[in-house]
Structure 1
Amino acid sequence: MPRLTARERREGYQREYAFQQRHGKPFFPNAVFHDTIVSLIVVALIMGLSVLWYVQFGAIPTDPMAERTGGLLGPAYEAKADPGVLGYHPQPDWYFFFLFELLRIFKTPQLLIVGTIIIPTIWMVLLIGWPFIDRNPDRRLSRRPIALAIGVMVPIVLLTLTFYGSKVPAEGGAASTEPGAAAFAAGACSTCHVLANAGTAGNVGPVLDEAKPDYATALALITNGQGAMPSFKATYTEDEISCLAGYVATWSAAVGTTPGPGAATAKDYPASCEKAGGLFAGTVSSAAGP
């Protein structure tokens, strides 16, 4: 079929428009009536789901911290927040999962603005401006390869980011009884790092069992920070920092009760943990810091 010229397409559109003006159905009341019916169906569906959700509620639990169970549509409410929980992994609503994943990708302070401001802003500008950028009136996909490619790639990227952003970090195991383990698991370290000996399953920073830092490296990072990792010299004492550094160096990549390859570099461990006391020494008192 020969491709129509712009003039032929315009004339064809004008003929179709004139025909619809003479024989087509008016917007009011026809289209308004149809839209009203569809809107009422949607409202009725939402109300029906709400009633179904309500009638499936379980009994009000006697424990005020417990969850009130429900049916297929979920519980009436979940258990109340417990400020004593140390291993909580916050997540946004599902429609922000793609941004949540962008924060994981661009997690260093230097790149954080890329994932939080630059990329979303570019996306919104393109979304608003695309009708003005692509002025091609042809509706056939074969003649709109750029629009077709963008229309396919954008949902794929968003769905992929949403899928990975929805992944809840794996639950860690129990911390060992080694000096420094309880403090590592109870502090900010557990939020970011995976360390098998401490039973932590963070998903932001490096996996320490793979990084295997020696004592000097761990001490410098905890003291001064680097990249997305903040400095903790204002949070912990020197003995506490030395304890954590020694613990990380000793038990990263440990096999059972056999210390890891960095154990030989931790000269002050576990003596520094005994000086620090509390959770650092393995007792039940509170650790300093977050």
Structure 2
Amino acid sequence: MKRGKGMKFVGDSRVPVRDTKNIPKDYSEYPGKTEAFWPNYLLKEWMVGSVFLIGFMVLAATHPAPLERIADPTDSGYIPIPDWYFLFLFQLLKYEFAAGDYTVIGAVVIPGVAFGALLLVPWLDRGKERRPHKRPIGSGLMLLAVAAIIFLTWEAVDDHDWEAAADQGEIVEDVEVDTSAAGYEVYQSQDSCISCHGGDMLGGAAGPNIFASDYDADEVMDIIVNGLNDMPAGQFEGSDEELQILSEFIANDGQDPDNGSGAEDDEE
């Protein structure tokens, strides 16, 4: 005898009659289409969640988050990059219909509509079937979302200059710059220098660490005037005397050449 089949119940006048229309039917009446939430369904969810949790823990242990140098608020050329799971939104903001005057559309409207549609799937597709091909609305929205995320993520990875991104955040050896030196004051007055090499002179998105190379004062002056590689010429705005002071300051690794601290450090 099946559960709940062929059984007769005897009423008792002392027990009030209750409406049983809201009581769900027995699982045996839907063979292969449903199952008990506890423990069958919940156990499967826990097993799948455990596999993903272990996978993320392994990735976090074997590939720790990369660290970059200390943030420099004066480095206007620094381009921040989001984590990989937000790259598709980062790429979306590069298109004309979602950037510039239409940034709100790319940052709020399109993601809001997309994620809102996914949240409404249970109400848009209320079919009892569990097979994907029997639920075209829900399956279609999910496939569209997955395809869009994969495409935009791929485009973001392919278009971005990852070498420049690594250089702009590279951790460099700390250099104690003498902020009281005349050369430092000259450097701070040069907006073109700061925009490329950063306010701390340790490099930015467009320029390297100023103290990374062993140039003497004359070589530094020649580079400032005539440029080098991607560095354009004629960017210095100042007198010849200021150019000389800045060149000696850079050649002396950020120290005032008059006090000889840089030479003493080298000898040590």
The TM-score, its normalising length taken from structure 1, stands at 0.39
Give the number of the structure whose alpha-carbon radius of gyration is greater: 2
* TM-score between both structures, scaled by the size of structure 2: 0.42
Using CA pairs below 8 Å that are at least 6 residues apart, which structure has the higher relative contact order? Answer: 2
